[in-house]
Chains A and B, each alone.
Chain A
Amino acid sequence: MEGREIGWAMVEGIIAGLKPSVKEEAIDFDKIFVRYNVLEEEKKLGLKPEELVKDIMPKDEPWKTIAYAVFKGDAKTALEETKKALEKFPPKEIVDKGLAPGMHAVSKLYDDGIYYLPQVMLSADAMSAAVQFIEQKVGAGKVEKKGKVVMHVAEGDIHDLGKNLAKVFLVADGWEVIDLGRDVPVDEVVKAVEKHKPVMVTGTALMTTTMTAFPKIAKKLIEKGIKIPFICGGGAVNEDFVNTFELGVIAKKAHQAPKFAEAAKKGISWSDLRAKWHEIAPA
């Protein structure tokens, strides 16, 4: 690359004559900004992800192979090994001893700031493929789930990325998600909650004109005597707003979802969750 100035770039011939009006050499870019992500990563360079989760991963076969397949996001191996295991072991054991530990390890590394979202997604896909296969074989409902969660995006709103992320974290953690989709009318949410009796219901809204559906949902749930936590996320939603209506608890990051569900299942009330989410489900 000799003689070619990088950046001011250079497809030979076309830009040969380009001379910026400001001299790049004169600028010390370190005095303008710092790429903190690069520095942060350097701090963690010595860490070996597999070492860090060694203790939660199974040591015996076939669990080890299954768990590592999920851990690496290798759906093909996860599925094949699950098929084989299903000939000898009950579904619950496969989930508890093989699939779940692999997923748990990935989530932990993500929570600890070592892994990145795509790694979680691919592991979750691998786990889902295996669980779906098991359900097909033994019938849905036979694979024990931690509990149910009803999720939706507010009426009039199609911004569903945040909800979808939170769903991945929940499914991966072993929850049954009733996903009502996006642009969901208030009454449909209320009906689904009545029908499925989840441990909690979640809502996502990214527009100030759509988040107004949340207090309406909360009011109707209370009228029906349902007092489960209503976890509210999405760009437009802030804590002040969520605290104006009963049941509402603010969520800032998708990975909080399983912790909220865990707490709700334990019977922690919405008001306690609202007061203590910083400790119970830190963002």
Chain B
Amino acid sequence: MVVRRYTSMAYKNPDDIVFGKAVYPVYERFGVPIGAGFVVPEIKVAPKPGSEKDLETFVKHHKEFTEEILKLCLQLGFNYIMIEQEHVFQQTYNPNYAYETAHAQVELAEKYYNEYGIGVTIRHTIGDIRKAEAEGGLRESDLTKRMFESFEQAAAAGVGDLAIETLGGKEVVDYAVARGDIKGVLFGIGVCGSEDMAWTWPQIVKIANKYGTIPAGDTNCSGANTVMFLAGGLMDREVSHTMAALARAIAGARSLVAVEAGARGPLKDCGYENPIIKAITGVPVCIECTSICACAHIDVMGNLNRAIGDVYSNESVEYHQEFGGSTAEVWTAVTGNAAALSNTALQAKQEKILRDLLTYSDMYRDPQGLILSYPNAYRIGKVITQYGKDPYLRAKYAAIEAGNIILEAAEAKKLKLSRWELETLNKAMETLKALPDDADKFIDDCLKEYANVPYFNPKNYGW
């Protein structure tokens, strides 16, 4: 599959990267401008357990919470809202579920837009339900067909944009990360992941274009987020946080492939690598971080990505009641108010001050935050474009650059590293620097080394 490759940066100066503004804004259905001078709040609700039991119950539930969200936006005076539906298995597996839920939500979006002038867009994130071990593997199985069919159906129902979290390479990452093996992480995310996206994404873009909807973006949830989860909090001892930072930089090189294949953003919220990709491509990004998504998960980056995000997301919350209302309402209030603060800064032309405060609040808390702070994300982006034509090389050098950034900050005594974090980083840097610069050689070597990893099958990546 042919995808274009980035060899230069859309931003010439990192100081220009700021929330609510992108070089290439996106205008979604029903009046929602993204990256055009506003931060748009996003809300995502996971349907109640049991609601998937039949189509009617499922659609009714979607209608109910979508309407609750829209009413709350009116109550609180929000200008815009993005409502994302991250498919549960049944919703992608049964393409008619995708169509009917999308259709119900789009109708409501249109109604509220027409009646009240509030900008509403609906995103459907199709589940990557493919399985490496299924008959036909990632590319030919019945699950693969159903996945693409669900893209069609959601697009046909008129959603504002389409996204996915592809999981190519995940089996290798799962294996490697628990062993502290940076080479396997690089192979899994940087090579297998990129390869799978270069196969998947042109097809997604084609479907989106056919229906005039926006192909938005991908995320390395299956790779770098898995590593981030295992790394956990400061007191966890599963995966070192420096390893998690390197995996994230590699993910920057990998998730870029969506844009190279025609995705236009806003990139998917859980892509913590999005600052790197925004710096390279200038497309707008959805983001999440603990201060607005603690309902879904907790990490050591409390405010960070709000500094550069164009859409602020709660990541996900299961539908139930809280004192403040349903979780759909409560978390709409949270992301909406976070967006309002950033929009105030934009209107007052103080956005760079707020951006830097948000950045500093996390920059030295953890190596992961350090490398994603916008000037450092920019540095990593720069290296990725320098090696832009080769997915393997750019991933490798992205990781090395992230390591350099961490070591510099540690040397300057700004970032305090534990001995374990430093040792694992030094070891990873040694391994990375010793790797060949020839992608074919690296792949051949990895195919041997990881041949017995559970579920890994080179055919899934075209080898």
Chain A interface (Cβ within 8 Å of chain B)?
Answer: 1, 6-11, 14-15, 17-22, 24, 27, 29, 32-33, 35-38, 40-41, 45, 110, 113, 115-118, 121-122, 125, 156, 158, 160-161, 164-165, 168, 183, 207-209, 212
Bound: A122/B409 CA distance, A:
30
Q: A7-B363, A9-B405, A158-B131 are in contact. Are A118 and B178 (CB under 8 A)?
A: yes
* Chain B: CB-nearest residue to A14: B382
* Nearest chain A CB to B86 CB, angstrom units: 12
The answer to the question of B260 belonging to the interface, with a C-beta cut-off of 8 Å to chain A, is no
Bound: A21/B360 CA distance, A:
11
* Interfacial chain A residues near B52, Cβ < 8 Å: 209
* Interfacial chain B residues near A6, Cβ < 8 Å: 408-409, 411-412, 414
B: number of interface residues (CB 8 Å): 55
* Nearest chain B CB to A5 CB, angstrom units: 9
Annotate B408-452 by CB proximity to A: 1 below 8 A, 0 otherwise. Answer: 110110101111110010000000000000000000000000000
CB pair B417 A38 closer than 8 Å: yes
CB pair A117 B376 closer than 8 Å: no
The answer to the question of B49 belonging to the interface, with a C-beta cut-off of 8 Å to chain A, is yes
Q: A38-B418, A156-B89 are in contact. Are A22 and B239 (CB under 8 A)?
A: no
The answer to the question of B88 belonging to the interface, with a C-beta cut-off of 8 Å to chain A, is yes
Bound: A161/B228 CA distance, A:
13
* Interfacial chain A residues near B131, Cβ < 8 Å: 158, 183
* Interfacial chain A residues near B14, Cβ < 8 Å: 15, 18
Q: Which of B23-57 contact A (CB under 8 A)?
A: 46, 49-50, 52
CB pair B178 A1 closer than 8 Å: no
Q: A14-B382, A17-B15, A212-B49 are in contact. Are A37 and B356 (CB under 8 A)?
A: no
Bound: A208/B355 CA distance, A:
36
Residue among A24, A113, A116 with the most chain B CB within 10 A?
A116
The answer to the question of B200 belonging to the interface, with a C-beta cut-off of 8 Å to chain A, is no
List the 6 closest pairs (A to B, CB-CB), nearest first. Answer: A118-B180, A22-B356, A21-B352, A6-B412, A117-B238, A37-B234
* Interfacial chain A residues near B370, Cβ < 8 Å: 7
Bound: A6/B408 CA distance, A:
7
Bound: A27/B365 CA distance, A:
13
Chain B interface (Cβ within 8 Å of chain A)?
Answer: 13-15, 46, 49-50, 52, 88-89, 131, 174, 178-181, 226, 230, 234-235, 237-240, 318, 352-353, 355-357, 360-361, 363-366, 370, 373, 375-376, 378-379, 382, 405, 408-409, 411-412, 414, 416-421, 424
Specify which of A10, A35, A160 is in contact with B365 (CB 8 Å cutoff): A35
CB pair B15 A7 closer than 8 Å: no
Can you add 17 more A-B contacts, CB < 8 Å, to A6-B414, A36-B234?
A1-B412, A6-B408, A7-B370, A18-B14, A22-B356, A29-B364, A37-B234, A37-B418, A113-B237, A118-B181, A121-B180, A158-B131, A161-B174, A161-B178, A161-B226, A161-B230, A208-B49
Q: A6-B408, A161-B174, A209-B49 are in contact. Are A21 and B414 (CB under 8 A)?
A: no
* Chain A: CB-nearest residue to B237: A116
* Nearest chain A CB to B44 CB, angstrom units: 15
Bound: A1/B409 CA distance, A:
11
* Nearest chain B CB to A103 CB, angstrom units: 15
Bound: A18/B352 CA distance, A:
12
* Chain A: CB-nearest residue to B373: A7
Bound: A10/B373 CA distance, A:
13
Residue among A8, A122, A156 with the most chain B CB within 10 A?
A8
Bound: A38/B234 CA distance, A:
9
* Interfacial chain B residues near A37, Cβ < 8 Å: 234-235, 418, 420-421
* Interfacial chain B residues near A165, Cβ < 8 Å: 178
* Chain A: CB-nearest residue to B240: A116
CB pair A164 B375 closer than 8 Å: no
* Nearest chain B CB to A204 CB, angstrom units: 13
* Chain B: CB-nearest residue to A110: B237
Bound: A131/B39 CA distance, A:
57
* Interfacial chain A residues near B376, Cβ < 8 Å: 7, 9
* Interfacial chain A residues near B88, Cβ < 8 Å: 207, 209
* Chain B: CB-nearest residue to A115: B237
* Interfacial chain B residues near A113, Cβ < 8 Å: 237
* Nearest chain B CB to A165 CB, angstrom units: 7
* Chain A: CB-nearest residue to B49: A208
* Interfacial chain B residues near A183, Cβ < 8 Å: 131
Specify which of B360, B365, B408 is in contact with A1 (CB 8 Å cutoff): B408
* Interfacial chain A residues near B238, Cβ < 8 Å: 116-117
* Nearest chain B CB to A173 CB, angstrom units: 17
Q: Can you list 18 A-B pairs with a CB-CB distance of less than 8 A?
A: A9-B378, A9-B405, A14-B378, A20-B352, A20-B356, A21-B352, A22-B357, A37-B418, A37-B420, A41-B420, A116-B180, A117-B180, A117-B239, A118-B178, A121-B179, A168-B178, A209-B52, A212-B50
CB pair B379 A9 closer than 8 Å: yes
CB pair A35 B416 closer than 8 Å: yes
Residue among A35, A36, A37 with the most chain B CB within 10 A?
A37
CB pair B416 A121 closer than 8 Å: no
CB pair A122 B179 closer than 8 Å: yes
Bound: A118/B177 CA distance, A:
8
Q: A7-B414, A18-B375, A165-B178 are in contact. Are A24 and B360 (CB under 8 A)?
A: yes
* Chain B: CB-nearest residue to A117: B238
Bound: A15/B17 CA distance, A:
12
CB pair A22 B353 closer than 8 Å: yes
CB pair B365 A11 closer than 8 Å: no
* Nearest chain B CB to A182 CB, angstrom units: 9
Bound: A36/B418 CA distance, A:
9
Specify which of A35, A121, A158 is in contact with B178 (CB 8 Å cutoff): A121
CB pair B178 A8 closer than 8 Å: no
* Interfacial chain A residues near B355, Cβ < 8 Å: 21
Bound: A161/B167 CA distance, A:
14
* Interfacial chain A residues near B411, Cβ < 8 Å: 1, 6
* Chain A: CB-nearest residue to B51: A209
Specify which of A35, A118, A207 is in contact with B418 (CB 8 Å cutoff): A35
